[in-house]
Amino acid sequence: MAITLKKLSVHGPALVPAEVSFNPIRTLIRGPSDTGKSHIYDCLWLLLGGTTPLEQFPESNGYDSLELIFTAGKHEYVVRKGIAGGAAALFVRMDELSVGEGDPNPWEQVEQDLSQLLVKLSGAEGKQVLHNRSKKGAITGDDLRHWALLSQTGMIAKEPASGPKQFAPKRIASFSLFLTGLDDAAVQLYMSTSDKDRIAGQLKAAEMDLKRTAAGIPADADRAATATALARVEDGLDRLSTQHEARSSVLRELRRRISSEGIKLSEASTRLAGATSIRERFLLLEQKYSSDIARLGATDEGIAFFEVLPETRCPLCSTPVGQHLDTADLGPRTPKKYRAAIAAEADKIRELRAGLLQSLKHEESRIAEATSDVQQLSASLEVLEREEASVLRTAGHEFDVDPRHLAEQHTQLSSLLGTFDEVERLTKEINRLTEAKKQKKTPLNRNIGFHGDEVGKYAREMLAAWGFTSIQSVHVDAETGDLVLDGRRRLSYGAGKRGLFRTALTIALMRHAMKMGHPHLGVVVLDSPLKAYAQKELVDADRDVPLATVNESFYAWLSKWSGPGQIIVLENEPVDPGVAAVLQATEFTDDYAEGRQGFYPPRSGIGAAPPSPASKRDSKPPSEATDGEDLG
């Protein structure tokens, strides 16, 4: 898929929009300098994702926003952006031919970055290209613009078509993608500077570790002797182990019995502690019950005493006691109820206390039983431990080698052998890092195959049609993304030919990419491709074809262009009226009295002086002239 530019417009409050429409196949916008042609190029660059701010001039004063309408497949898009800057707003709807008559077709906002959308519409989504030999990334809108929008200065610049050196690797990679349809996803990357620095740091650390580790090896030591000595020590330890195993069979049964008796003793101690704890709690509960019974008895006595007390007025205010208490509490039956409740509570506690005494007696018997078990098991365990100590003392005298000395030797020799192993490992790691740091760089050779021949053939056909019939061969240099003509690099020609040859490359690349279904924006915008060749003040020995021939041939060729792809030409050089009619060219005249003054509608007090009333009667008004242009 590709895009087709439809209309560019610039807007401002209370100002007539500046508009220009584009033919879907070929468009020529012609006029003298300072009429806004290069400004149209700059607007398109900005609206297709560029960030270079627009130059301001009197005619553009008061305008604050840009709008570009383009189509892609069955959809129509509009890009809106402020001249002062900021993000672009994107909207989409179906094109007119894809919508039934009377059906709604509203604009819907696109929640996507403009450059990402253009990459997707160009067919380059997901493609990977080299930014340099150490980094790759996705195609960007900048890559699309570079190979589709060609400025006047870019045409004649004394640098390859890929542009400045710092951008060349990425531009050449995107050129190869448009040319062959193949990206750089399979290309293996070199180490980046940061990776090299990381490896250098690891190498230095490994060398320091090796130096420090090697310092721990005695001068007279070697790995083979160390391994032999360690084997002898391990043999001695094995013999000790055999002797120990023989003696351990004697101790094993003792220790099993000690373990069994210890477990039983632990269980008995646990039972004793549990029973003792429960008994202490029961005793505490018994004290509580005794306290509760005493307290209830005291309360009962108090109520009985209350019953026999005579009623007495309040000593402070001489009011009857009934006015201070609830009368229900003064009834004759109330104290009896309290005493009955206390008696019932006391009976309940006595019953609980009787049950508690039975439980306490049970726990006393458990304590006695557990105490007896603990004493017996402790005595049995003590006997077994004395037997174990006796066996150990007897067995220790049978060893003819000090096990501790052998263990120390084993530790020392094992450590020394480990040091030898670490030195060997570090040496291998240093060799690996040294080799990794010396990564071999192989040239990148993109095989453009017949694709380069096809683009060269298209370019040669175009140049011949433009009057350069003496050129016999045109080839694509894959390393620079540029043309070689008759064995000469494009940059070896004069400015005029450099510009036209770069124009031919740009158009041929689009034609080939569109024909083969490769990624491409699908449109080429050319800012003054003929101007440099036409400059008489330039002394150019390469200008061997007459200017009139080149101009006439170029415009005639453009009038016959039928695609694939869209070409938009902004040019100063005059065009034959008949060819201009075929091209339906938009003419800027820089004159209020005739035709369209320029890109921006004329305003009083800006630009040339307005025509006199007499001249107005002999020519169309500016508004009518503007309306008569192909503005849609």
Query: What was the pLDDT predicted at 542?
Result: 65
In the chain, what percentage of residues exceed pLDDT 90?
43
Look at residue 98 and tell me whether its pLDDT is greater than 60: yes
The strands making up 18-21's β-sheet, listed across from edge to edge, are 18-21, 4-11, 65-72, 75-82, 89-94, 108-109
Higher pLDDT, 438 or 457: 457
| H/E run at residue 5 | strand 4-11
3-state secondary structure of 65: strand
Look at residue 630 and tell me whether its pLDDT is greater than 70: no
DSSP state of 585: -
User: If you average pLDDT over each of 136-150, 377-391, 424-438, which comes out highest?
Assistant: 136-150
Average pLDDT rounded to a whole number, residues 80-108: 88
Query: What was the pLDDT predicted at 18?
Result: 95
Query: What was the pLDDT predicted at 387?
Result: 79
In the chain, what percentage of residues exceed pLDDT 70?
90
Higher pLDDT, 381 or 69: 69
Type of residue numbered 339: R
Task: Note the pLDDT tens digit of each residue in 211-227.
Answer: 999 888 888 888 888 89
Cβ pair 162, 176 in contact under 8 A: no
Rounded CA separation 51/223 (Å): 68
Cβ pair 179, 452 in contact under 8 A: yes
User: If you average pLDDT over each of 389-398, 427-436, 511-520, 584-593, which comes out highest?
Assistant: 511-520
Cβ pair 42, 54 in contact under 8 A: yes
Q: Whole-prediction pTM value?
A: 0.64
Phi, psi dihedrals of residue 197, rounded to the nearest 5° = -65, -40
Peptide bond into 564 cis (omega under 30): yes
Q: How many residues does the chain have?
A: 632
Report how far apart, in Å, the C-alpha atoms of 330 and of each of 36, 66, 271, 302, 326 are.
114, 100, 57, 15, 7
Look up tokens 């090896």; give the residue.
217
Total Cβ atoms within 10 A of residue 39: 22
Name the pLDDT band for 109 (thresholds 50, 70, 90): very high
**181: closest CA among 554, 509, 571?**
509
Query: Residue 410: CB partners within 8 Å, gap ≥ 6?
Result: 230, 233, 234, 237
Q: Give the range among 43-47, 382-386, 505-509, 603-607 with minimum mean pLDDT.
A: 603-607
Burial grade of 310 (CB within 10 A; 0-12, 13-18, 19 or more): exposed
Report how far apart, in Å, the C-alpha atoms of 612 and of each of 35, 615, 626 are.
21, 5, 19
Rounded CA separation 175/509 (Å): 8
Look at residue 375 and tell me whether its pLDDT is greater than 60: yes
Look up tokens 């990977």; give the residue.
128
Question: For the chain, how far is it from start to end, CA to CA, in angstroms?
Answer: 24
Q: Give the range among 19-33, 70-84, 362-376, 599-613 with minimum mean pLDDT.
A: 599-613
Cβ pair 213, 426 in contact under 8 A: yes
Query: What was the pLDDT predicted at 442?
Result: 65
Burial grade of 411 (CB within 10 A; 0-12, 13-18, 19 or more): exposed
The strands making up 482-485's β-sheet, listed across from edge to edge, are 474-477, 482-485, 488-489
DSSP for 523-581, written as a single string: EEEEE-TTHHHH-TTS--TT--S-HHHHHHHHHHHHHT---SSEEEEEE-S---HHHHH
Rounded CA separation 445/237 (Å): 66
Query: What was the pLDDT predicted at 628?
Result: 31
Higher pLDDT, 421 or 1: 421
Mean pLDDT computed over every residue of the chain: 85
Query: What was the pLDDT predicted at 626?
Result: 34
Query: Domains (ranges, CATH) in the chain?
Result: 4-189+444-627 (3.40.50.300), 246-387 (1.10.287)
Task: Note the pLDDT tens digit of each residue in 270-289.
Answer: 988 988 999 888 888 888 88
Rounded CA separation 514/122 (Å): 10
**493: closest CA among 437, 448, 541, 449?**
541
**183: closest CA among 124, 135, 143, 134?**
124
